[in-house]
Structure 1
Amino acid sequence: MTPETFVDIFRHALQVIVMMVAAIILPGLLVGLLVAIFQAATSINEQTLSFLPRLLVTLTTLMFLGHWLVRTLMELMFEMVELIPQVVG
């Protein structure tokens, strides 16, 4: 196995993982930002006010994107298994 092959495999796997994590985290971050702006505008200093909307958005995102996330992870695993002969040989 050449170093270039290893770097290509690692880069592809890292891109897929970052894309999957971003799909879960970004909606919660956006909702958290909106709630923080609302809290700053109204001077409400309640910690639980920002937690519940982020939790609900994250769970909703997982509910809607769960099928896509599992399919993407399975495709990555199938690609990795197909690359075993190239890596070993």
Structure 2
Amino acid sequence: MKVFMQPVFLENLFYESLKLLCFISLPILLSLLFVGLFFNIFQKITSINEQALSFVPKIITICLIFTFFGAWILNLIVHYMEYVFNNISSAIFCTL
């Protein structure tokens, strides 16, 4: 008995996983980009070369992003996993 998976399902699964990855990483990356850019400009203007000055606000930003967007991110992941588990049985077929 051979077990095969339909290529259409795999293509759709790959597309949905990449779309989910973009949706999850977008708020985190954009907020860290703006915070890093702001503190980099601030360091250049004031001639302060302290590494902790840019590190601490980024950690605080990540904590705030997960506080505000954590439920949304978790909801996206749960819906994606429901989609995968509900459709995996229809995507697999066996031949003798």
Name the counterpart of 2:66.
62
Q: Between Structure 1 and Structure 2, which shows a larger proportion of helix residues?
A: 1
State the AA in 1 paired with 2:9: T
**TM-aligned CA deviation for residue 5 of structure 1:** 2.6
1:18 deviates by 2.1
Question: Normalising by the residue count of structure 1, what TM-score does the alignment of the two structures yield?
Answer: 0.89
Give the aligned partner of residue 81 of structure 1: 85
Is there any run of 5+ residues in structure 1 with no aligned partner, and where?
none
Cα shift readout 1:14-73 (whole Å, capped 9, x = no counterpart):
110221022222212210111001111221111100011111111001011111111110
Q: Give ranges in structure 2 of 5+ residues lacking alignment.
A: none
> Which of the numbers 13, 26, 29 marks the counterpart of 1:25?
29
Aligned length: 89
Equivalences for residues 41-56 of structure 1 within 5 A = 41-56=45-60
Q: If you compute each CA radius of gyration, which structure gives the higher value, 1 or 2?
A: 2
Match of 1:83, SS state, is helix
Normalising by structure 2, we get a TM-score of 0.84
The RMSD of aligned alpha carbons is 1.3
The 8 Å contact of residues 6 and 92 in structure 2, kept in 1 or not, is answered as no
Q: Whole-Å Cα distance in 1 between the matches of residues 55 and 89 of structure 2? A: 47
**Which one has the bigger strand percentage?**
2
Identity %: 31
